[in-house]
Amino acid sequence: MPFDISKIARSNILSLEPYRCARDDFNEGILLDANENTHGPSFVDMSEAERQLDLNRYPDPHQGVLKSQLCAFRNSERSDVEESKKLQVENLCLGVGSDESIDALMRGFVEPGKEKMMICPPTYGMYSICGVVNNVDIVKVPLELETFNIVPQNILSALKTDSTIKLVYITSPGNPTAKMVDEKLLLELLQGVEENSLNVLVVVDEAYVDFAPVGSSISTLVNEHPNLVVLQTLSKAFALAGIRLGITYANREISRLLNAIKYPYNISNLTSDVAIRATRPASLADARVKIGKIVEQRGLVLDKLLSLKYVGRNRGGLDSNFILIEILNKDLQPDNDVANKLYLTLATQRKIVVRFRGKELGCTGCLRLSIGTAAENAVLVEQFEQVLTQIVEA
Chain segment 22-80, per-residue pLDDT in tens: 777 788 888 888 888 999 898 888 899 888 999 999 999 999 999 999 999 999 999 99
Nearest one of 3, 2, 4 to 14, comparing CA atoms: 4
pTM value is: 0.95
Using pLDDT thresholds of 50, 70 and 90, give the confidence band for residue 18: confident
Q: Is residue 211 located within the same domain as residue 327?
A: no
Chain segment 80-93, per-residue pLDDT in tens: 999 999 999 999 99
CATH number for position 86: 3.40.640.10
E-strand ranges in the chain read 92-95, 116-119, 137-140, 165-171, 201-205, 228-233, 246-249, 311-314, 322-327, 355-356, 366-370
Q: Is residue 234 located within the same domain as residue 354?
A: no
Q: Name, in order, each residue with C-beta under 8 angstroms of 232's C-beta and a sequence gap of 6 or more.
A: 98, 206, 207, 209, 217, 219, 246, 247, 249
Chain segment 166-192, per-residue pLDDT in tens: 999 999 999 999 999 999 999 999 999
**Domain end position, chosen among 236, 251, 279:** 279
> How far apart are alpha carbons 206 and 368 in whole angstroms?
18
CA distances from 314 to 79, 92, 368 (A): 33, 36, 10
Q: Is residue 216 located within the same domain as residue 302?
A: no
Q: Is residue 304 located within the same domain as residue 356?
A: yes
Q: Can you give the pLDDT at residue 33?
A: 84
Per the CB < 8 A criterion, the answer to whether 164 and 147 are in contact is: no
Task: Note the residue count of the chain.
Answer: 394
CATH number for position 322: 3.90.1150.10
Q: Is residue 331 located within the same domain as residue 229?
A: no
The SS3 call for residue 60 is: coil
Q: Is residue 102 located within the same domain as residue 228?
A: yes
Chain segment 276-288, per-residue pLDDT in tens: 999 999 999 999 9
**Residue 306 belongs to domain spanning:** 287-393
Region 235-255: what's the mean pLDDT?
97
- Would the pLDDT of 238 be above 90? yes
286 sits in which H/E element: helix 281-306
Q: Is residue 177 located within the same domain as residue 320?
A: no
Q: Is residue 91 located within the same domain as residue 240?
A: yes
> How far apart are alpha carbons 310 and 389 in whole angstroms?
7
Radius of gyration (Cα) for the chain, nearest Å?
Answer: 23
Q: Can you give the pLDDT at residue 336?
A: 98
Q: Is residue 176 located within the same domain as residue 50?
A: yes
Q: Is residue 291 located within the same domain as residue 259?
A: no
**Domain end position, chosen among 279, 314, 342:** 279
Question: Which percentage of the chain shows pLDDT scores above 70?
Answer: 100
> How far apart are alpha carbons 220 and 249 in whole angstroms?
8
Using pLDDT thresholds of 50, 70 and 90, give the confidence band for residue 298: very high
**Domain end position, chosen among 255, 279, 303:** 279
Q: Is residue 264 located within the same domain as residue 331?
A: no
Structurally, how many domains does the chain consist of? 2
Q: Is residue 110 located within the same domain as residue 145?
A: yes
